[in-house]
Chain A
């Protein structure tokens, strides 16, 4: 073997030297300015017309706690309905059947195209259109008795959510490689089984971050159900301030609860993401 050629002169040895720390003057100045502005805002609120004792008193009062429970119950149920509808509609949208396809597209168009609050009011006032509802000859009831605030809120929020979720689900399914469908077909699977066993589990990985987003949106969207008398957090807070006129204090109470719930949801989402990351290198190592 030939010896390696001699290296050229004039390039000093740098191996003992460290890279010096930069002073970052601008970071220090901007941080100081921001702290000043924040302090001014906090001071303004502390000295403003807010009775903070009311905030702490009403934060854990029974009606408020019931409100947050109702909010969460509604958010979870409506989201489940939304995800179910979203999956069904996404599958219909990707089906070769033109009838299913256009029904799915029409559903998304209708429920995404109108305001959520309008849909809630329509469901709640369904009795004006159909005084009685039921199955002819078997069962019937007055619509006002059936369409309670709970049911109207669930249908309004869930069906609206389904329209958005279907697009998220469709994106997830499209993200799965076509070769996965083919491999599933090659071992004899039908379209629906391939979707359920092979495509959807892989789509979930892509779909969970946007779905987490949607669920956080849903928690807050339940506050719209206050207009149809569903006793969720905001509705109950309003009821209290109608009586004692502590409007800002109770709005702050509600706001703190929404913030708390959303803060808890974020780490939960990360746990779920891990669950569906099975087989990806990041976790496999």
Chain B
């Protein structure tokens, strides 16, 4: 029997008084494309950030590829992992940010080669070849030597996707990847993500693009106030929601 790639169990997370996640449990299966939807503040972005440990959870546990994230059990207690070990665990996930966060002082190509050469210590020659192949895959082979400021938002986000893929992650996390884009640039980023989904990548996508969710997602998860309200096939959750809160959200969005 296959095991889930990500197993999230009773995860809670607060920022001061604000409870961002309240006991969330969820499995993500290998090759699955999952879309997380919900109003802002519902906890969907926080959940992604907990999986790649940009935020540390307060309670519960997250297992990635069978390995407990962020802590180690020893003598009946949980001990935080060192920064180095957390860095190693992060390599299994690739993150794409809403605001791209490309390194502005490096070219598109250098943005992609930075991680493999600096973190994984690989040779620049072979990484360069892979990086150029990734740029070709996201349709930006001609932009290898451009700086981020010379690229449109959509192009920057595609470079950011290539940068995440260069680390050869098992899981790709997308945090509202098209929310900061002009409407006419959304399509080119979604096209790259669709291609990635077809190639079998496991993906968790926080998005407001319900069309994308309907077309690509194997499962849609609706979150509200730090908890999962409803989940299921895209056609069910988006087409025939059972929960009142889901219905209210969808009618407000569409």
Contacts and interface: CB of A to CB of B under 8 A. Distances in A.
B95 A278 contact: no
Contacts of A143: none
Nearest to A282: B149
A280 B84 contact: no
Given A185-B54, A188-B119, A280 B104 contact: yes
Interface SS of A by simple majority? helix
B105 A183 contact: no
Interface centre among B94, B103, B167, by most chain A C-beta atoms within 10 angstroms, is B103
21 contacts: A177-B101, A179-B97, A180-B101, A182-B54, A183-B102, A185-B87, A185-B90, A186-B94, A187-B90, A187-B119, A187-B167, A188-B87, A188-B90, A189-B87, A190-B87, A193-B119, A197-B118, A202-B103, A202-B104, A279-B104, A281-B150
Interface of A: 177, 179-180, 182-191, 193, 197-198, 201-202, 205, 276, 278-281, 284
Nearest to B167: A187
B103 A180 contact: yes
B90 A279 contact: no
A194 to B, nearest CB: 10
A279 B87 contact: no
Given A279-B148, A284-B149, A198 B87 contact: no
Nearest to A281: B149
A179 B106 contact: no
B52 interface: yes
B114 interface: yes
A182 B118 contact: no
Given A190-B84, A197-B118, A183 B97 contact: yes
B150 A284 contact: yes
B94 A190 contact: no
A281 B104 CA distance: 10
Interface centre among A193, A202, A279, by most chain B C-beta atoms within 10 angstroms, is A279
B87 A186 contact: no
Interface of B: 52, 54, 83-84, 87-88, 90-91, 93-95, 97, 99, 101-107, 114-115, 118-120, 147-150, 160, 163-164, 167
Contacts of B91: 187-188
Given A187-B163, A188-B87, A281-B150, 13 more contacts: A185-B54, A186-B90, A186-B93, A188-B88, A188-B119, A188-B167, A190-B87, A191-B83, A202-B104, A276-B105, A278-B105, A279-B104, A279-B106
A190 B164 contact: no
B55 to A, nearest CB: 10
Contacts of B84: 190
B108 to A, nearest CB: 11
A201 B106 CA distance: 10
B84 to A, nearest CB: 6
A197 B91 CA distance: 18
Contacts of B106: 279
B83 A190 contact: yes
B105 A187 contact: no
Given A177-B101, A185-B54, A185-B90, A278 B147 contact: yes
Contacts of A177: 101
A186 B95 contact: yes
Contacts of A197: 114, 118
B149 to A, nearest CB: 5
Given A279-B149, A280-B149, A284-B147, A187 B114 contact: yes
